[in-house]
Every structure is written in structure tokens, then in C-alpha cells.
């Protein structure tokens, strides 16, 4: 991880995490296996096992693409809203790294705080499965959730939304375009711009990091395969033609992050199309803070509070948003 050369001050939690987590150079010599092993080792440092008053169940969503189905965890807290909202969550990792366990603490915490159901998706990763395999899995799971609300602990009136961090936020934004019937979306520092387009100011400001550098973006891009033609807008949501059909959107934005301005640009697109959008800028935060409450108790807590309020606002039937 490169040091931050921006004039913006790092929050003390951001500084502590950069010192504690081992750096990794993303260049042509880095193998996928090594990157995944390092990501797992880092998780042993920042992961927190928390108690959960409720149940976690595993389902395998049928698909012809995966023999055993797409695995998901469903978290159902004991204390639920009437007609509880359901949030389908997609982990980050550039479509190459990460898994359900990386987002487990986040899903448990928010399911409890928002008194809702979280569905944590294990979509297929590149380079074994090139883009759009992971997105296709995510769309399929979301459709399954909409059709199986009662089965997983909700009821027929439960509203369904999507959420995700980083590339998971990118997936959530695409799913919101492609799967009708969603009631809200929560995008946590997503990348929504075109491959190779680094014209936004935050890319120039943080081209060397921290966390996400231009070299890292290129490394991930190389593993996804060619993205062109009809695949481009599915990967880069800023290139979509229409936005009016989208559900209300909450953006959680890290201030010290090369992807910061992606959220601002996308929020402008949604607002211009008449889509309700809210943007929460977390000052002094770096990319990936949302799913690391061990290192970011204050910053993640601030973001979780906003997330919970948004879920209750747009996901509950007793608030007038019917």
C-alpha cells in the first residue's frame, strides 16, 4: 500500500490500518494465488468474530453454470421488523479476490442494527470465470431472493434491496439496472467508470494509493478479460443509457480514495434522472474501511448508522414508502 500524499488528513483509524496491514505490490509478477493468500492473511488481522442473536443459514441457488449452485449465507436476526427488508450483499475484491467471509461481520452487524435480513453472495471470481460471470451470478441470486422472500425468513411484502462494497458496489449498481422489482440500493465506494478512464480528480489525487493504486486497478482489469461492446455498460454503469428506472440509492464514500469521485459522478446521473440519491462522505476514511470494523470502529460505525437509517427509510412498510 502506498502512502497517502494528499493534503486531506487521514483519520487515526485509517493511519493505524495502513501501518498494521502488510503492503502488496500489484505488478505483472504477482500471481492470483499469492494475492488471495495475502488477502486471507490480512483477514486474520482485521476480521472480528461477533456474536449474532439469530440464525445463519446456507442456501445453494440453482444455476446451470455451477453444478452445486451459487452459495449464499442468509442472516436472520431474532428481532425483525414486520415485513422485514431483505438486503442482498456482494463482497468486494476486484472480481478476483474476496469471499462471503470477508463481509460476514458487516452483514451480521447491519442485519441486527436494521432488524432486517442480509443475503451474503459467493459469486464466481476471475480469472477462472471471466466477466460477466460474477455479475450474472449476482443477478440470478437477486431474482431468486425476490421469488423466495418467505422461504428465507421474510414475507410476501418484504422489500428487497442490493448493496456491496468496492467491486461489490459495482455489481450492486449493475444488478439494480438489470433486475426489476428492487426497492433500494446501497453502493459503498463503487467503481462505475469505464476501464482505462482515470480522468476524475480523485484518480489523479490518489494515483499512488493508499489502498487502490493505478497499478492495482490494471492488475485486476487484466484478470477480467476483454470488456467491450455490450459488456461495457454492464461493467461501467456511468455508460448506461437510462437511469430513471432505478430505485433510491445511498452512496457511502471514503474521502481518501481514488474511487471517491465515481460516486459523485454516478449520484449526479441518478439525480438528473429523478432518482432519489443520498451521499455520505466519511472524512479521513480510506478504501475498504466499511468491512473492517476492527480497525475502523468509529468510521465503520458512522457508515453503518447511515446504512441502517436508509434501509429503514426505504425498506420498511410502516414509514409511508409503500
Residue-wise pLDDT for 7-32, tens only, equals 789 999 999 999 988 778 898 899 99
User: Exactly one of 99, 136, 257, 262 is catalytic; which is it?
Assistant: 257
Is 138 an active-site residue?
no
Helix, strand, coil in percent for the chain, rounding step 5: 40, 20, 45
Superfamily of domain 13-48+57-315: Alpha/Beta hydrolase fold, catalytic domain (3.40.50.1820)
pLDDT of residue 294: 86
pLDDT at 24: 80
Structure confidence by residue, pLDDT tens digits, 170-217:
999 999 999 999 999 999 999 999 998 889 999 999 988 999 999 999
Would residue 53 show up in a list of annotated catalytic residues for this protein?
no
Residue 84 has a pLDDT of: 97
Residue listed under C-alpha cell 476514511: 285
Residue 317's pLDDT band (cuts 50, 70, 90):
low
Nearest alpha carbon to residue 161 among 319, 318, 313, 320: 313
Is 230 marked active-site?
A: no
Q: What is the mean pLDDT of residues 309-321?
A: 79
Preceding amide of 54 cis, omega within 30 = no
Select which of 167, 261, 287, 300 is catalytic.
287
pLDDT confidence bin for 5, thresholds 50/70/90: low
Q: Which of 14, 158, 166, 236 is catalytic?
A: 166
Give the pLDDT confidence score for residue 263 in this predicted structure: 98
Question: Residue 6 has what pLDDT?
Answer: 58
Q: Where are the beta strands (DSSP E) in 149-229?
A: 160-165, 184-188
Report how far residue 23's alpha carbon sits from residue 98's, in angstroms, rounded to the nearest whole number. 17
SS3 for 279? strand
In DSSP terms, which residues pair with 70 in a beta bridge? 61
Contact 197, 191 (CB under 8 A): no
pLDDT at residue 1, as a whole number: 34
What does the pLDDT look like over 112-144, one tens digit per residue? Answer: 999 999 999 999 999 999 999 999 999 999 999
Q: So what's the pLDDT on residue 201?
A: 96
Amino acid at each position: 500500500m502506498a502512502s497517502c500524499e494528499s493534503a486531506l488528513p487521514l483519520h487515526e483509524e485509517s493511519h493505524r490500518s495502513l501501518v498494521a496491514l502488510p503492503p502488496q505490490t500489484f505488478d505483472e509478477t504477482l500471481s492470483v494465488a499469492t494475492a488471495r493468500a495475502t488477502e486471507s492473511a490480512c483477514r486474520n488481522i482485521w476480521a472480528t468474530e461477533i456474536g449474532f442473536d439469530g440464525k445463519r443459514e446456507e442456501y445453494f441457488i440453482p444455476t446451470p453454470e455451477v453444478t452445486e449452485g451459487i452459495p449464499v449465507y442468509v442472516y436472520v436476526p431474532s428481532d425483525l421488523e414486520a415485513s422485514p427488508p431483505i438486503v442482498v450483499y456482494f463482497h468486494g475484491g476486484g472480481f478476483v479476490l474476496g469471499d462471503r467471509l470477508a463481509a460476514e461481520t458487516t452483514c451480521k452487524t447491519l442485519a441486527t442494527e436494521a432488524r432486517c435480513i442480509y443475503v451474503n453472495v459467493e459469486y464466481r471470481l476471475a480469472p477462472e470465470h471471466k466477466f460477466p460471470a460474477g455479475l450474472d451470478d449476482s443477478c440470478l441470486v437477486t431474482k431468486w431472493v425476490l421469488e423466495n422472500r418467505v422461504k428465507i425468513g421474510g414475507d410476501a411484502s418484504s422489500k428487497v434491496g442490493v448493496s456491496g462494497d468496492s467491486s461489490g458496489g459495482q455489481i450492486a449498481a449493475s444488478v439494480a439496472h438489470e433486475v426489476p422489482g428492487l426497492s433500494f440500493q446501497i453502493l459503498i465506494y463503487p467503481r462505475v467508470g469505464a476501464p482505462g478512464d482515470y480522468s476524475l480528480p480523485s484518480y489523479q489525487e490518489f494515483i499512488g494509493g493508499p489502498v487502490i493504486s493505478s497499478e492495482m486497478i490494471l492488475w485486476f482489469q487484466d484478470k477480467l478479460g476483454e470488456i467491450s461492446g455490450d459488456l461495457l455498460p454492464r461493467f461501467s454503469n456511468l455508460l448506461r443509457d437510462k437511469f430513471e428506472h432505478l430505485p433510491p440509492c445511498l452512496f457511502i464514500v471514503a474521502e481518501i480514495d481514488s474511487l471517491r469521485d465515481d460516486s459523485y459522478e454516478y449520484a449526479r446521473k441518478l439525480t438528473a434522472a429523478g432518482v432519489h440519491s443520498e451521499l455520505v462522505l466519511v472524512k479521513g476514511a480510506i478504501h475498504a474501511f466499511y468491512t473492517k470494523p476492527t480497525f475502523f470502529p468509529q468510521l465503520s460505525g458512522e457508515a453503518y448508522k447511515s446504512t441502517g437509517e436508509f434501509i429503514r427509510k426505504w425498506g420498511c412498510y410502516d414509514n409511508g414508502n409503500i
